[in-house]
A and B are shown apart, each in its own frame.
Chain A
Amino acid sequence: MSGPARPRLVFLGLPRTGKSTFLGAFWALVQSPIETSVREASFSGDRSYVQRLAEQVARGEELDRTALGADDELEVELQFEPEGFAQLAIPDTSGESLRILAERRIWYPRLLAACSDATAILVFIHPERLRLPQRIAIAAGGGRAEPEAAPERAAGGLEFHPGDPVGFQAQEHACTAAELIDVFENLAELWRERRPIRVGVVVSAWDRVGGDPRPTPYEWMGAWLPGVLATLESNRDVADFEVYGVSAQGGSLAERDGLLAKGEICDRVFAEDRDGRAVSLVDPIRWAIWGS
């Protein structure tokens, strides 16, 4: 009899794309008696970190951001029905570490270690936080006016201040699609010896995506991130690809009372597969471990 699978998943995404929220909701489902397709098979180890995430999701709170130097990790043995046991490890990587890779072309050590060991990647995208291509304008006068308000974006584009002692870095303002394609190319290089690997795209806050009819997750990618979709579709030898839409809170945190009125986490979260069919929130992780 073979032992349990030993998948190592990595959640990748720029800041505030829902990585920790998804992990917290997933853990809440693992512990819920209503979700019968997955359960905890071993109770050893420190669960305080992921338990805190699950509790914050249950209370409808915005989760604390993951600090760049954080080294939290979910490491647990789970039993999936009907696939079997998996000794699952998911390091919680900060969005900033991915940004460093995309913008500065440097692998942050913890991210590099996580991706080097990964058996699958889930890439998180928030539909309301896509960065689209912007115009760059050179500000008149060179230097910045004082006083200047804290971080703000110039209306309709970015201002480039030649007199600023910290030089303007165009790559810090690249659009989301360009960053994700660049990250994929870095990952492809990293996995050169063990292709293909599974890459799942998780479009978070799926409850915010509108339209009549609402697009499927695959259609949404085709509409908003066509370059990313084309890259993944044309590199099947590098990565098996899947896409999901998930709502790991089940609604907007701005309407917290209404959100909590929907009931427990398992009552309010939902997910859709690439074709828009309702699936369990567990399914992206199930696919990442076992494939289709």
Chain B
Amino acid sequence: MRAAHQFLFGYDDGHRLLAGSRDLPHATAVALLSATDAAMANGTAPLVTGLALRESAEYAFCVTWSASELPRPGAVWAHALVVGEAELAEPGTLDVLLGLPRRPSRDVAYLGSYRAPIALDATAPRLPGYLPAGPIDREALTRLAFAAYDPHSEGTIAHEDLGGAAKALLALWRAQWPALRGAFSFRTREVVRPGTRDFDLTVTRKIRGQGGERAPVTAAAAQAWLSGIVEDAVAGAPTPLRDWLSAFGPLEAPEPRRLAALAKLWPLVVARDADGARARLAEDWPAPQDGAALKSVLFAPENADWWSG
């Protein structure tokens, strides 16, 4: 049976682990304490956090809610689900995982239900309760994809609607190949300081010291490789780009910029632009041994008719 371990964090004379389904090593417990705690104003959309736990080869998915019913201002509730790499690999299991976080009820803060692992063989909800209804904001998704994958991006963008951003972010994460998904850390936050690089992608309402200004969407949207990523992330079923990433992504390092490299190559393959593909390979896989399987598949003699066809 595939299962997720769960941990409930909340306020008890400070932000603490209140209940869990197993013990945590100190370093992991501290990482989760930090990942689940955040400044939240009343009415702020639940915050999402994905954290790669490299020491234990696990992954934590967390949702944090404002605990405005508690007497201590600034207190939060957070539910963290910890899974192994195998649980992240299957899209069906992943969807169940995304539906698991739940906020403790206001007047019945029973902890017992947080002390047992949760099976991942249930039916996934159509929409997790912490996400807003409605379609994914494509403009936000485009900006998120650019911030996450562009090699020159700082990985932090300002966005006013954190609920909508969380929905777009999870769609983006879900579309990654499994190894990248397991290494990709992300979060939504009310406010962050510029230059923070602990996460691959941070979406925040305000970047401290700045007016919260947004990068022009045109700068991102003008990049053709992003449109394929956006269309794939919002699609209900895997697209040809997803198949491409699933085939060759696992051969790459699980790094966001490698997804960008594959996504930039893909339109050239579709367009049968051999010269363009060679140039792209030379740029992103410069050493002969880099991307050997990819180069072999694309330019093996038996595939020569692809480029001429």
Q: Which residues of chain B have C-beta atoms less than 8 A from A46's C-beta?
A: 208-209
Closest to B70 in A: A150
Q: A67-B39, A96-B37 are in contact. Are A147 and B13 (CB under 8 A)?
A: no
From the candidates B17, B109, B192, B208, name the one contacting A166 in the complex (CB within 8 A).
B17
Which of A45, A64, A99 contacts B14 (CB under 8 A)? A99
User: Lowest 7 CB-CB distances: which A-B pairs, in order?
Assistant: A150-B109, A64-B74, A15-B14, A65-B74, A151-B12, A68-B37, A146-B112
Tell which of B12, B23, B29, B37 touches A67, judged by Cβ atoms closer than 8 Å.
B37
Give every chain B residue within 8 A of A66 (Cβ-Cβ): 39, 74
Closest Cβ neighbor of A166 among chain B residues: B20
* A15–B38 touching, CB < 8 Å: no
Complex contacts, A16 vs chain B, CB 8 Å: 13-14, 72
Query: Does A71 have its Cβ within 8 Å of any Cβ on chain B?
Result: yes
Q: Quick one: which of A163-187 are within 8 Å of B by CB?
A: 164-167
Contact between chains at A165 and B112 (CB < 8 Å): no
In the complex, what residues of B have CB within 8 A of residue A149's CB?
A: 109-110
B13:A15 contact, CB within 8 angstroms = yes
Per the 8 Å Cβ criterion, residues 13-68 of B in contact with A are 13-24, 26-27, 29-30, 33-35, 37-39
B276 at the interface (CB under 8 A from A): no
Q: Are B73 and A147 in contact (CB under 8 A)?
A: no
A149 to B107, CA, bound (A): 10
B169 within 8 A of A: no
CB of B55 to closest CB in A, whole Å: 13
Instruction: Taking A72-B208, A150-B18 as given, write out 7 further A-B residue pairs in contact, using a Cβ cutoff of 8 Å, ordered by the A residue number.
Output: A15-B14, A62-B72, A71-B193, A94-B15, A146-B112, A147-B108, A166-B17
Instruction: Provide the residues of chain B in CB contact with A94, threshold 8 Å.
Output: 15, 37
Judging by beta carbons under 8 Å apart, are A165 and B23 in contact? yes
Task: Tell me, yes or no, whether A14 is within 8 Å of chain B by CB.
Answer: yes
Please tell me if the beta carbons of B75 and A65 are within 8 angstroms of each other in the complex: yes
> Which of the candidate stretches A3-11, A102-110, A210-218 sits at the interface with the other chain?
A102-110
Q: B39 touches which one: A45, A70, A100, A165 (CB < 8 A)?
A: A70
| Complex contacts, B19 vs chain A, CB 8 Å | 166
**In the complex, which residue of chain A has the Cβ closest to the Cβ of B33?**
A68
Please tell me if the beta carbons of B109 and A108 are within 8 angstroms of each other in the complex. Answer: no
When distances are taken between beta carbons in the complex, the residues of chain B under 8 Å from A164 are: 115
Q: Does B128 touch A at the CB level, under 8 Å?
A: no
Contacts of B208 in A (CB 8 A): 46, 49, 71-72
Q: Kindly identify which residue among A67, A99, A167 contacts B74, using a CB–CB cutoff of 8 Å.
A: A67
Query: What string of 1s and 0s marks CB contacts (under 8 Å) between A64-80 and chain B?
Result: 11111111100000000
Chain A residues in 8 Å Cβ range of B267:
none
Quick check: A14 and B23 within 8 Å, CB to CB? no
Chain B residues with CB under 8 Å of A15's CB are 13-15
Choose among A14, A65, A105, A150 the residue with the greatest number of B CB atoms under 10 Å from its CB. A150
Contact flags A135-155 to B (C-beta < 8 A → 1, else 0): 000000000101111110000
Q: Is the interface of A mostly helix, strand, loop or mixed?
A: loop
Q: A46-B208, A71-B196 are in contact. Are A104 and B74 (CB under 8 A)?
A: no
Looking across the interface, which residue of chain A has its beta carbon closest to that of B5? A165
Q: Is the interface of B mostly helix, strand, loop or mixed?
A: loop
In the bound complex, what is the Cα–Cα distance between A165 and B295 (angstroms)?
Answer: 50
Shortest CB-to-CB span from A75 to chain B, Å, is: 11
Among B35, B116, B208: residue with most chain A CB under 10 A: B208
List 22 interface pairs A-B (beta carbons < 8 Å), by A numbering.
A49-B208, A65-B73, A67-B39, A67-B76, A68-B15, A68-B37, A69-B35, A72-B208, A94-B37, A96-B16, A99-B14, A106-B26, A106-B27, A144-B115, A147-B108, A148-B111, A150-B109, A150-B111, A151-B16, A165-B21, A166-B115, A167-B23
B112 touches A148 (CB 8 A): yes
Closest to A150 in B: B109
Cα distance A16–B12 when bound, in Å? Answer: 11
Distance from B164 Cβ to chain A, minimum over Cβ atoms (Å): 22
B111 and A67 contact, CB distance less than 8 A: no
Q: Is residue B104 within 8 Å, beta carbon to beta carbon, of the partner chain?
A: yes
CA of A63 to CA of B72, assembled, Å? 9
Select B110's contact among A45, A100, A108, A147, beta carbons within 8 Å.
A147
In the docked arrangement, what's the CA distance between A104 and B27, Å?
9
A95 at the interface (CB under 8 A from B): yes
A234 vs B37: C-alpha distance in the bound complex, in angstroms? Answer: 38
Whether B110 contacts A148 by the Cβ 8 Å rule is: yes
A263 to chain B, nearest CB (A): 24
Q: Considering the chains assembled together, what is the distance between the CA atoms of A149 and B18 in angstroms?
A: 11
Residue of A nearest to B195 (CB): A71
Which residues 109-164 of B sit at the A interface, judged by CB distance below 8 A?
109-112, 115-116
CA distance A70 to B10 in the complex (A): 16
Complex alpha-carbon distance, A106 and B24, angstroms: 14
Residue of A61, A69, A71 near B37 (CB, 8 A) is A69
A65–B14 CA distance with the chains assembled, in angstroms = 9
Q: Which A residues touch B37, using CB under 8 A?
A: 67-69, 94, 96
Bound together, the chains give a CA A69 to CA B17 distance in angstroms of 15
- The CA-CA distance from A166 to B111 in the complex, in Å, is 12
Asked if A104 and B23 sit within 8 Å, CB to CB, the answer is: no
Q: Closest residue to B24 on the A side, CB-wise?
A: A166
Q: Which residues of B contact A14 (CB under 8 A)?
A: 14
Q: A46-B208, A69-B37, A149-B109 are in contact. Are A165 and B22 (CB under 8 A)?
A: yes
- The answer to whether A166 and B22 touch across the interface, beta carbons within 8 angstroms, is yes
Q: Give complex CA distance A62, B74 in Å.
A: 10
